[in-house]
């Protein structure tokens, strides 16, 4: 499947390290709304956006009736998202926080290109944030250029990837979507072809 996306590509650099570049009108970790539309078949409830960046996905959810909590360790990203929500008249509970600090359970948890280390215990913490009957929506790039990633200071093999979702959720979950999508990001920073893995899992 090939999807053309006219939007900013996602940046894997930490927004606070980007300084003035992230503060520019062109957002680098904007989120695109394309993946969050996987949630359009669900009845709105409470949602958690993990590593929300500046939070276009959280805005899409708020616009579609979800009560959204959006967390990111980057104050720059959260402040930009807050300003954007205010301009649009949308309410999102945005918090500068590590996902490991988030408590409570949510009807929907979205994790789009998150930076979650497999050996940190944080993935189990994320799974625990999904309420019974709730949904986890996970998206990450496939076919990552490992050399380039390591040059930017992170090891993709140490991070939770799409294949880890079915492998780790356990018997109490149902995998509803597990697919690879070819993306052609045709505009903005990070415009390039790549493949994304999209997994939607329901906690029964």
Ligand X SMILES: C[S@@+](CC[C@H](N)C(=O)[O-])C[C@H]1O[C@@H](n2cnc3c(N)ncnc32)[C@H](O)[C@@H]1O
Contact residues for ligand X, defined by CB under 6 A: 10, 12, 14-15, 29-31, 51-53, 71-74, 77, 98-99, 112-115
Q: How far is the CB of 147 from ligand X (least distance, A)?
A: 18
Nearer CB in complex with ligand X: 52/169: 52
Nearer CB in complex with ligand X: 140/202: 140
Nearer CB in complex with ligand X: 36/201: 36
Q: Which residue is nearest to ligand X (CB)?
A: 51
CA 192 to chain centre: 19
Q: How far is the CB of 123 from ligand X (least distance, A)?
A: 11
Phi and psi based region of residue 20 (left: phi greater than 0; alpha: psi -120 to 50; beta: remaining): alpha
Q: For residue 114, give every residue at least 6 positions away whose Cβ sits within 8 Å of its Cβ, in sequence order, or none.
A: 50, 51, 99, 126, 138, 140, 159, 160
Q: How far is the CB of 171 from ligand X (least distance, A)?
A: 27
Locus of tokens 């490992």: 146
Nearer CB in complex with ligand X: 120/174: 120
Q: How far is the CB of 99 from ligand X (least distance, A)?
A: 4
Q: How far is the CB of 131 from ligand X (least distance, A)?
A: 20
Contact indicator for 199, 138 with CB cutoff of 8 Å: yes
Nearer CB in complex with ligand X: 53/162: 53
126: nearest Cα among 140, 107, 141, 105 = 105
Q: How far is the CB of 175 from ligand X (least distance, A)?
A: 21
Nearer CB in complex with ligand X: 86/98: 98
Strand extents, DSSP E, the chain: 2-5, 46-50, 67-72, 93-96, 106-112, 130-142, 173-185, 193-203
Contact indicator for 113, 140 with CB cutoff of 8 Å: yes
Contact indicator for 140, 164 with CB cutoff of 8 Å: no
């Amino acid at each position: 499947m090939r999807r053309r996306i006219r939007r900013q590509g996602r940046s894997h650099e930490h927004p606070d390290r980007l300084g003035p570049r992230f503060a520019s009108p062109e957002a680098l970790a904007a989120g695109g709304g394309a993946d969050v539309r996987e949630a359009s078949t669900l009845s709105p409830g409470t949602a958690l956006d993990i590593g929300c960046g500046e939070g276009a996905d959280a805005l899409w959810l708020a616009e579609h009736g979800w009560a959204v909590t959006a967390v990111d360790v980057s104050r720059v990203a959260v402040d930009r998202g807050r300003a954007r929500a205010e301009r649009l008249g949308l309410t999102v509970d945005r918090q500068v926080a590590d996902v490991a600090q988030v408590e409570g359970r949510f009807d929907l948890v979205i994790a789009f290109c998150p930076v979650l280390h497999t050996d940190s215990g944080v993935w189990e913490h994320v799974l625990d944030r999904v309420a019974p009957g709730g949904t986890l929506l996970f998206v990450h790039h496939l076919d990552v250029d490992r050399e380039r990633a390591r040059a930017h200071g992170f090891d993709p093999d140490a991070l939770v990837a799409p294949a880890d979702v079915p492998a780790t959720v356990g018997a109490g979950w149902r995998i509803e979507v597990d697919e690879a999508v070819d993306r052609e990001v045709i505009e903005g920073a990070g415009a390039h072809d790549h493949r994304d893995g999209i997994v939607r899992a329901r906690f029964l």
